[in-house]
Chain A
């Protein structure tokens, strides 16, 4: 960090005790509220808890009124549907450091002693209107979108394509190297029964896929689905002692020096750089200690950038790393996007990253299990904001 900061004194007694996925489908015909409630019920049951144990809730993001398609169900809806009558924490979390900020908020609250068991979730629909910054009936653009939407430069693909383009320009990252991330994720997805994509892709198929926003092709973009993931974070280990406890070693918050997509100084790095600095400043563990990295893959290039910014490789070496065939569960070393990621499972918007990291540390990742995984990292976010969570088996 470029300035003195207070030393991290956070608790080391926070665990991920429950993981719940809703059914995941391209078109479920269900509401985001129903998906969230299904995921939350499964997460609470997975933790061996019931509704009376839950005293906290967080979600990503904050929901406006009227809501837009991106925002998912309200916290109130999910709380009432689950009959959570004993909350001491009820906090939607948005903006800044991205999706996992809601997980970080749950962690902070638990470390501070405000709650014992917190349900945190993300739910959204496939979102045909995903790329509209605001409701379809409005043609007005607000905030930074006012300066990009009039030029068709709004939405994740168009914005982040410019970041990827600059990375290619400065470091020589190639289309094929981004394609290698797509091929990796689809390979892992093909052996994950939960994944929407059950078929692998070849680099040729990737290269033949149509452009979306250059340098992003269709297969650089994660797959929009209806789905929700809920987690239970607790101040103590799992209620049953039959599985390995999964402890939060530390978290990384990254909003960087500026939150503007336009004014961000260096498009070859993201909020991921600052999330990484925060994360590694709080632990004795190092990138070489990590067995599994569930890196964000909303677009292939994001995975390359996270890999670099987290210090797994030097800046500019992310593309060649994937092109060389690294990251597979079946190959030696670090395993990456082991569930098939959002490119293969579908867009679970960062929460699938934490869920799969937990699956790995519990030894419950099935055919995609990294043998003996003890340290797993989950990250989410693209552009100025990012957040990461480092988990261990506490052994």
Chain B
């Protein structure tokens, strides 16, 4: 049969995804030596990733080495706050995390280092506007005890040519 994917528990108009102002209700990261630069980078609005000094690829989440080539030497790399949605899901349950539903979890491939896949929430659009391949700009919300990264459609509707993700040809 050819059914349709009705959003049976949604109103006729697709819900608006709001940027949260309170983050402390969420599950929050336990900081480690390896992840501290990432999280403190967010505090000042920057996306700081670990880039390999040998192969120039970014390992995320950070683990203190290059998961692509095994090199031990990494350098902090401030990635542009732009990227593309690699995949996403609309969550209608909060899975014990205390989130308000529905919410969208997306994995974003940052411009210039698409091998780094960053989990975030897509906000400031309607649920049905989220799609794979969607261009997003990322921004930080500074919570009381923790800053988190979010993604939204770009203000002018486009990120321009520079946002085209580059293909990594010799990844894992």
Residues of A bordering B, CB below 8 Å: 129, 131-133, 136, 139-155, 157-158, 161-163, 165-166, 169, 175-176, 203-204, 207-208, 210-216, 256-258, 260, 262-265, 267
Contact = CB atoms under 8 A, between A and B. Distances in A.
Contacts of B11: none
A211 B9 contact: yes
Nearest to A262: B117
A147 B29 CA distance: 7
A214 B90 contact: yes
B107 A211 contact: no
B95 A214 contact: no
Nearest to B60: A263
Interface in B88-119: 88-97, 99, 102-103, 105-107, 115-119
A152 B121 contact: yes
Contacts of B56: none
A140 B89 contact: no
B61 interface: yes
8 contacts: A147-B119, A155-B96, A158-B105, A163-B87, A212-B91, A212-B93, A263-B59, A267-B86
Sorted nearest first, the 5 A-B pairs with minimum C-beta distance are A257-B172, A146-B29, A161-B89, A153-B105, A131-B95
B89 to A, nearest CB: 4
A19 B71 CA distance: 46
A162 B87 contact: yes
Which among A149, A153, A215 has the highest number of chain B CB atoms within 10 Å?
A153
Given A129-B96, A147-B119, A152-B97, A140 B28 contact: yes
Contact of B132 (A165, A211, A257): A165
Contacts of A158: 89, 91, 95, 105
Contacts of A169: 87, 132-133
A140 B6 contact: no
Contact of A154 (B97, B103, B172): B97
Contacts of A212: 91-93
Contacts, number: 163
B135 interface: no
B163 interface: no
B87 A151 contact: no
Nearest to A169: B132
A139 B91 contact: no
Contacts of A175: 3, 5
B148 interface: yes
A110 B145 CA distance: 52
A203 B29 CA distance: 41
Contacts of A151: 26, 103, 105, 119-121, 148
B119 A141 contact: no
B142 interface: no
A305 to B, nearest CB: 14
B27 interface: yes
B3 A203 contact: yes
The B interface, classified by DSSP as helix, strand, loop or mixed, is loop
Contacts of A216: 89
B171 interface: yes
Nearest to A166: B87
Interface of B: 1-9, 23, 26-32, 35, 59-61, 67, 86-97, 99, 102-103, 105-107, 115-121, 132-133, 146, 148, 171-172
A136 B96 CA distance: 8
Nearest to A209: B8
Contacts of B133: 169
Given A166-B132, A211-B8, A265-B172, A141 B3 contact: no
Contacts of B87: 162-163, 165-166, 169, 267
Which among B26, B89, B94, B118 has the highest number of chain A CB atoms within 10 Å?
B89
B147 to A, nearest CB: 10
Contacts of B59: 263
Contacts of A263: 59-61, 67, 115-117
B1 A210 contact: no
Given A140-B28, A150-B146, A260-B61, A210 B95 contact: no
A215 B7 CA distance: 11
B107 A262 contact: yes
Contacts of B120: 151
Nearest to B131: A169
Contacts of B172: 256-258, 265
Contacts of B23: 150
A269 to B, nearest CB: 12
A27 to B, nearest CB: 19
B30 A152 contact: no
A165 B67 contact: no
A214 B96 contact: no
A293 B23 CA distance: 45
A216 B172 CA distance: 28
A216 B118 CA distance: 22
B27 A141 contact: yes
Which among A129, A213, A257, A264 has the highest number of chain B CB atoms within 10 Å?
A213
Nearest to A143: B61
Contact of A213 (B27, B60, B61, B93): B93
Contacts of B91: 152-153, 158, 161, 212-214
